[in-house]
Structure 1
Amino acid sequence: MTSPDPAASPVAPTASAWNVPNGLTVLRIIMVPLFLWLLLTQSGDSEPHRWWAAVVFAVASLTDWLDGELARRRELVTNFGKVADPIADKALMGSALIGLSSLGELPWWVTVVILVRELGITGLRFWVIRRGVIAASKGGKLKTMLQAIGLLLLILPLTGLLHSLGLWIMYAAVVVTVVTGIDYVFQALRLRRATGGGS
């Protein structure tokens, strides 16, 4: 979830950082170490841990959607949420990418491309944060959905067609990730120029 464009949906003046959407964001961050531990535990029969890792990942991903819906519907979009929510998303997705690649279940080049893009866009957001927020695009939301579905299929202890499907979904996610990343760069440059920002 990425906060909506403030030009179209301004932050409510009474919105406090102490609210349910931000609490869900913090919860998602707290769940990341638990998810990683479950995913990387390989002693004995690791299959139950993989199922539990998938459950934690799915619940954490659900909070990503839920906090955005609550923030918009109840006008609880805050500056804290604008910063913390993308960080929570990238911590969850990044841990899944690195964990799966370290287990040999996802090519490292996929992880590197996605992480470079995500870290770069996070840097761009901070670069222009005083001048505005880079709004989420439909492509960005599609990217997030593809990554979540593909990673979930790979986290589950599946074999055969379903495991291969997870890989192909991740390959599609890479394409959307790169395309939307380029679009975000142009958005940031336009925002800087429109507000008179220098380099």
Structure 2
Amino acid sequence: MTTPTRPQPVQPPAAQETPAPAVSAWNIANALTVARLALVPVFTVLLLHAGGRETWWRLGAALVFTVASFTDKLDGQLARERGLVTDFGKIADPIADKALMGAALLSLSAMGQVWWWVTTVILIRELGITLLRFWVIRYGVIAASRGGKLKTLLQALAIWIYVLPLGAVPGLAWLTWISAVIMAAALVVTVVTGADYVAQAVRLRRSARSVTARQGAG
């Protein structure tokens, strides 16, 4: 006599993972980035008006620089917290940052408030690191370090003090020495972190090539 076979329970089909929807480039984080980029010419015109001798125009430039610098922190925070990280944002955000700092340094040097060699060193470093990130982007991303964030903070603070019309306010001209000290610290951190980023890029590239070689040998 044949023993009847018990029917096996029917297993529900495995749930397929739904791919995460693509994040649209039209979001608040990218809008802030674009706004910061748009503020660069506004800031430059206000700062350079009448050779930088108009107090109210310089105060306006300082206000625009403050707003633009604040958006730098806000757009990144919103992108991370709300999942709004996009390829456009990854490219546009550092471009906006470099444009703002570069315009400020070039303007201040043209006005004779920041030595040209200081501006040259900082801009060469910033451009070089940006190109370096694109050079190794196929192997990985070089994230901003604490030193890099400190560099940005020191540069922004020094520039902000330089932009203020301190010479027009009796008793405040001495603050220009503070801005010079902060800019000197920013310059040191700029050079040191630049060398560190270069070392990270070299290690990242070597590591990726080593993995590729092992996979090819296997």
Instruction: With the length of structure 2 as denominator, give the TM-score of the two structures.
Output: 0.82
The residue type equivalent to 1:52 in the other structure is G
Does structure 1 residue 171 correspond to structure 2 residue 184? yes
Asked if 1 retains the 8 angstrom alpha-carbon contact of 2:27 and 2:84, the reply is: yes
Q: Root-mean-square deviation (CA), in Å?
A: 1.8
Query: Among 64, 74, 77, which residue is 1:69 paired with?
Result: 77
Match of 1:114 in 2: 122
Asked if 1 retains the 8 angstrom alpha-carbon contact of 2:51 and 2:111, the reply is: no
Q: For residues 135-191 of structure 1, give each alpha carbon's deviation from its aligned partner in whole angstroms, at most 9, with x where no partner exists.
A: 010000000000000000000001422111111100100000000000110111112
Q: CA deviation at 1:15?
A: 2.1
Q: Which has the larger radius of gyration?
A: 2
Instruction: Give SS of 2:209's match.
Output: coil
Q: CA deviation at 1:128?
A: 1.4
**Alpha-carbon distance change, 195 to 171 in structure 1, aligned in 2, over 3 angstroms:** same
Does structure 1 residue 26 correspond to structure 2 residue 34? yes
Name segments (4+ residues, structure 1) moved above 4 Å.
none
The residue type equivalent to 2:81 in the other structure is R
Q: CA deviation at 1:45?
A: 5.7
**Alpha-carbon distance change, 182 to 39 in structure 1, aligned in 2, over 3 angstroms:** same
> How many pairs align?
187
- Structure 2 gaps, min length 5: 1-19, 168-172, 211-218
Q: For residues 20-57 of structure 1, give each alpha carbon's deviation from its aligned partner in whole angstroms, at most 9, with x where no partner exists.
A: 11111111111101110001111696111100000001
Match of 1:191 in 2: 204
Q: For residues 82-141 of structure 1, give each alpha carbon's deviation from its aligned partner in whole angstroms, at most 9, with x where no partner exists.
A: 111110000000000000000001111110110010000011011112222210100000
- Cα distance in structure 2, aligned partners of 1:44 and 1:108: 17
Percent identity of equivalent pairs: 62
**Alpha-carbon distance change, 49 to 120 in structure 1, aligned in 2, over 3 angstroms:** same
Higher relative contact order (CA 8 A, sep 6+): 1
Instruction: With the length of structure 1 as denominator, give the TM-score of the two structures.
Output: 0.89
The residue type equivalent to 2:187 in the other structure is V
Asked if 1 retains the 8 angstrom alpha-carbon contact of 2:162 and 2:179, the reply is: yes
Does structure 1 residue 79 correspond to structure 2 residue 87? yes
